[in-house]
Amino acid sequence: MGIVFVNYNSSRLLIDCIKSLVPDLGRCPIVVVDNNSTSDQKEALRSGIDELLVAETSPVVIWNSDNRGFGAAVNQGADRLLQDSAPEYLWILNPDTVAIGRPLTTLIKEAVTHTWDIATPLLIVPRGNGVSQIWFSRGELRPVSGESRHIDFKKPIDLESAKADGVPMTFCTGAAMLVRSDCWHDLGGLREDLFLYWEDAEFSLRARESGYRIGSIPKAQMIHHQGGSSDKSGLSSTFCYYYHRNRLILFGSSTIRKIDLLAGRGGYVTWKPILKAALLGDSNAVRACFRGIRDGWVGRLGPEKSQKNAGSGMEVDR
């Protein structure tokens, strides 16, 4: 296995994540792609790498001169891994995750046992008093309504009772996505022109259409701190813009489909974050939602000019 991280101003979280994986790493290669973080964050990453060298863990760091977006940076890291070490599996991992036990070993064992081509561990959020909530256990993609659902999202969970066999699913989050290298190569990696958000859903959709198997592996468990590279509420202007734009681009194949997504079967999914932002009094987020809808309607791709350097994570709290 090889691990790919994309970093954008989450250096301390990233180093903490790698440290949590050290007992399970062995000779597993790691590539970190920094998407032009601030100078302070770059220095923090360099210092953290020095700390890891003491633990005999030596990630390769690629320093981008600008923010290339999530998909392009992941592809960049995956290309480097496949060129240097040809691992059988790639693990795309968010910096804001922390290992529970030895998830890497469990992931590989269960993926082989269940013949999953794409898989994810159980991602949980600690809530204090010994209680944890599910962030992602399994996912469902609903193209008709333009929705990627986290099944059992925020459901309280006992980690021991959660260690059941995995189940097939139609959507895999990109926060901790394990992919067979041959599957990755066949599908051509993540789509790059979306820039930010929905890359995991688009990849899952292509994988299913190509006959690849997607599954959950709850025996492998990770803590997810929810958006270390983006706004904690999930309603940053960056999220609102790309969420609405890329959703229309991904599922709105015609004018009729776009109308259906905005005011028909996908209307609830469209208006829920807009109303949430309005109720919070966040006019910037509301305006970003409507900019995203406007640009998604006309099929505008790539980074929004005003947000070129605004985040590079994939997942937010919904």
One domain for residues 71 and 50:
yes
One domain for residues 66 and 202:
yes
Tens digits of residue pLDDT in 19-51: 999 999 988 999 999 999 999 999 999 999 998
Task: Determine the average pLDDT of the residues in 98-105.
Answer: 94
Residue 52: per-residue pLDDT: 86
One domain for residues 297 and 206:
no
306 contact partners, CB below 8 Å, separation of at least 6: none
Dihedral sign, CA of 72, 68, 18, 14?
Answer: negative
Q: What is this structure's pTM?
A: 0.92
One domain for residues 242 and 173:
no
Tens digits of residue pLDDT in 116-137: 999 999 999 987 776 789 999 9
**Which secondary structure element, helix H or strand E, spans residue 281, and what is its range?**
none
| 290 is a domain residue | yes
One domain for residues 60 and 208:
yes
One domain for residues 247 and 167:
no
Count of structural domains, the chain: 2
One domain for residues 173 and 300:
no
One domain for residues 212 and 248:
no
Tens digits of residue pLDDT in 64-100: 999 999 999 999 999 999 999 989 999 999 999 999 9
Residue 305: per-residue pLDDT: 79
One domain for residues 219 and 244:
no
Q: Give dist(CA 98, CA 17) in Å, integer.
A: 5
Which residue in this structure is represented by tokens 């964050």? Answer: 41
| 99 is a domain residue | yes
3-state helix, strand, coil in the chain (%, to 5): 40, 20, 35
Strand partners, 60: 31
CATH number of the domain where residue 194 is located: 3.90.550.10
One domain for residues 91 and 206:
yes
As a whole-number percent, the residues of the chain with pLDDT over 70 amount to 91
One domain for residues 203 and 244:
no
One domain for residues 191 and 252:
no
**Helix spans in the chain (H):** 11-25, 39-54, 70-84, 103-114, 181-187, 199-209, 237-251, 255-263, 267-279, 283-298
Query: What range does the domain containing 262 cover?
Result: 237-307
